[in-house]
A and B are shown apart, each in its own frame.
Chain A
Amino acid sequence: MIAAIQSSAVNAAPATGRVLTVDNLRAYYQTRYFGIEREVRAVDGVTLHVDRNEVYGLAGESSCGKTTLIKTLVRAIRPPLNVVGGSVTFNFAGRDCDIYALNQSDLENIRWRHLSYILQGSMNVLNPVRRVQQSFVDFAYRHIGQPMPAFLKLIEAHLHRVRLEPTVLDAYPHELSGGMRQRVTIALASVCRPDFIIADEPTTALDVVVQKDVLSMLRDVQREICSSMILVTHDIGVHANVSDRLGIMYAGRLAEEGRTVDVIRNPRHPYTSHLVTSLPRIGDVTQKRGLEGAPPNLANPPPGCRFHPRCPLAIEICRAEHPPMVDLAPGHRVACWVTAPPIKPGALQ
């Protein structure tokens, strides 16, 4: 039985290939209240893809739109957040599916079995009046298709593999420490061996020692079940350790994207350079300077490139038009008029 579950997620599809394709996605918060209409462009034209067995890191400061982006990816949106354009296509078990074209029951079938989510392990991430075991039953029982005793044995085996004590199942969520809760959510998200896992700030709000444990658990789990992952965190150091590719978001758009080593060693976008150089490194004695200005107001973003008010390299065209994504090297894209000018005017990625 366990072997069947192992094989279905991994071997049904070819070992390479895209698991997720996002095409020019736009999602805005649209409100009208007390006579004031407002449109916050949280995600404004994002295009990316994630391959099988790959960890795609998403970085950026707070309110850059990364949380909205992943909410949109899993179709966890609710008014006043609306998708106004673009598409999100997953590839599960060899078949493409547009997540916004699914009906409710297909969506419920996909959830957790093929697409799972690691929510930041806040105090309230699991039902506070039920024991942890109940969450496992609620989330995974219907996918595993085993009678309850066998199912529980499966859970315990899974917990053993990720080095969590099975006694954690009998605890109430508030009885666990922050780190434990986070590791329980990782175990929970991986129990059905999904094709795709989204991890939302899994190490924020944890102290450094616990972070190390959680990160290594995350990495081990991903390597073992070979699922693809999007890892969202503002901490570049975490990306350096875990992510295969890295995308930098700023003000609702992707500024730069490429293999993590390339982006960190060779940042091309001025914003990325700043992020990377602000990472403290042992032996580094240069003085760190903060970026001037503040992230733009997404209800009324600046025209042209959204970074231009704070950019030391800004030129005339930066104020007028938004730069397109340009391939600087295979797999390394940048959107900047100065460091990555398009080869021909209007040549778009």
Chain B
Amino acid sequence: MNAYAIYGGKRLLQFALVVFIGINLAFVITHSTPIDPVEQTVAAATSFGSTSPDAVEMMRQSLRELYGLGGTPWSQYVVFWKRIVVGDFGPSLSAFPTPVSVLINRALPWTIGLLTVSTLLAWILGNLLGGLAGYYRDSKFLKITGIVAMGVHPIPYYIVAFVLLVVFGYLWPVLPITGGSQMNLQWGWNTTFILSVLRHSILPVISLVLVGIGGWFMGMRSLVSNIVTEDYVTYAELAGVSRQRILYAYVMRNALVPQVTGLAMSLGSIFNGAIITEQVFGYPGIGTLLISAVHTGDYSLVIGIAAVSIIAVSVCVLVIDLLYPLLDPRVKVS
């Protein structure tokens, strides 16, 4: 029990470090530009027609407060961190006066749902197929699946999503290509709504799974090819343990261990892919929110989303890290 506490403590520290560095990076990026976002917003607001200098000055003041850009760099830094800890980024400019946190909370569940489903699907399918391919080296079906999966894998998420959009939007319009659900439906736990949500999520999920599956497939396949030469597999074969049992209990079970680590490490880039894919399909997650925030010049919303992304991904990685010893009993010893 004690060893686990030490391990958990270390993982918690790493989590804190990630969040710390990530948020600081966001701060550095936003505060080291030559452009003043306040001036930008003022310029955009006053570009049509004239406004009195007093009104402009008031706007400047309130914007400065809104953006947390008043005062010394140190006080700005403190304000920045305070907002993140509390979770209050102020009102959104594009959807004034709705607070940024409300907008994010509305969009986050969609992203989390999409991310969880497609990541699990890609990981499980990819590992399963890859493991079988590494063990049964002569199977033609597995070889072909492998080539297809690995062929799609290097293509960036945007292109795959875009191709799917074109195919299912224009060439063969059988699936909805925008939105999280049909527009006029009542939100709630009724079957029509849930079915509509599922239908609308098919394309984004397929897009993410197509790109992701190749990576897991390749990794698992090479892991399995290596594990098959390990002593404990040889020993089990010498003992006449059935091929199927060896595949699942000896080979895949051991290969899963580094794959879980790999999952934790790839969450960052899978998250990137998810929010890009959302944008293509107009899926109402924080990806779409982020892009539209950039286009409307909504400073607080962009920072809020960046901060939430960093924290969300770090929390997921922390959870995976904490569950890891369940999979690999050797971890506690170190």
A residues in contact (CB < 8 Å) with B: 74, 76, 107-113, 116-117, 119, 122, 124-130, 134, 138-139, 172, 174-175
Contacts and interface: CB of A to CB of B under 8 A. Distances in A.
B237 A124 contact: no
Interface string B301-330: 000000000000000000000000001111
Contact of A139 (B239, B254, B328, B329): B239
A138 B236 contact: yes
B240 A76 contact: no
B239 A172 contact: no
A125 B328 contact: no
A116 B238 CA distance: 7
Contact of B242 (A108, A110, A117): A108
Interface in B11-32: none
Contact of B328 (A112, A113, A129): A129
List the 9 shortest-distance A-B pairs measured between CB atoms, nearest first: A111-B240, A108-B240, A139-B239, A124-B231, A117-B238, A112-B239, A125-B231, A172-B329, A127-B232
B232 A124 contact: yes
Majority SS at the chain B contact face = helix
A167 B80 CA distance: 57
B249 A138 contact: yes
B230 A124 contact: yes
Contact of A174 (B245, B254, B333): B333
A129 B242 CA distance: 18
Contact of A116 (B237, B239, B327): B239
Contacts of A175: 333
Nearest to B329: A172
B172 interface: no
Given A117-B235, A138-B245, A128 B254 contact: yes
A249 to B, nearest CB: 21
A125 B254 CA distance: 13
Interface in B179-234: 230-232, 234
B253 interface: yes
Nearest to A198: B238
Contact of B239 (A111, A122, A128): A111
B257 interface: yes
Contacts of A129: 253-254, 257, 327-329
Contacts of B236: 127, 138-139
A119 B238 contact: yes
Contacts of B254: 127-129
A113 B238 CA distance: 11
Interface of B: 230-232, 234-242, 245, 249-250, 253-254, 257, 327-330, 333
Contacts of B329: 128-129, 172, 174
A119 B250 CA distance: 17
A122 B241 CA distance: 20
B229 to A, nearest CB: 9
Contacts of A122: 231
A130 B251 CA distance: 12
Contacts of A112: 239-240
Among B232, B239, B242, B253, chain A packs the most CB atoms within 10 A around the CB of B239
A275 B45 CA distance: 95
Contacts of B327: 129
Given A107-B240, A117-B239, A124-B230, 11 more contacts: A76-B234, A76-B237, A110-B240, A127-B249, A129-B328, A129-B329, A130-B253, A138-B241, A139-B241, A174-B330, A174-B333
Contacts of B253: 127, 129-130
B329 to A, nearest CB: 5
A113 B241 CA distance: 12
B74 to A, nearest CB: 50
A59 B226 CA distance: 30
Nearest to B231: A124
A138 B238 contact: no
Nearest to A126: B232
Contacts of B234: 76, 119
A175 B332 CA distance: 11
Nearest to A116: B239
B261 to A, nearest CB: 14
Contacts of B250: 127
Nearest to A76: B238
Contacts of A76: 234, 237-238
Nearest to A138: B241
A119 B235 contact: yes
Contacts of B230: 124
Contacts of B238: 74, 76, 111, 116-117, 119
Nearest to B250: A127
A74 B235 CA distance: 12
A109 B242 CA distance: 10
Nearest to B251: A127
A125 B237 CA distance: 12
B330 A172 contact: yes
A74 B237 CA distance: 10
A126 B234 CA distance: 10
16 contacts: A108-B241, A110-B240, A112-B240, A122-B231, A125-B231, A125-B235, A127-B236, A127-B250, A128-B254, A128-B329, A128-B330, A129-B254, A129-B329, A138-B236, A139-B241, A174-B333
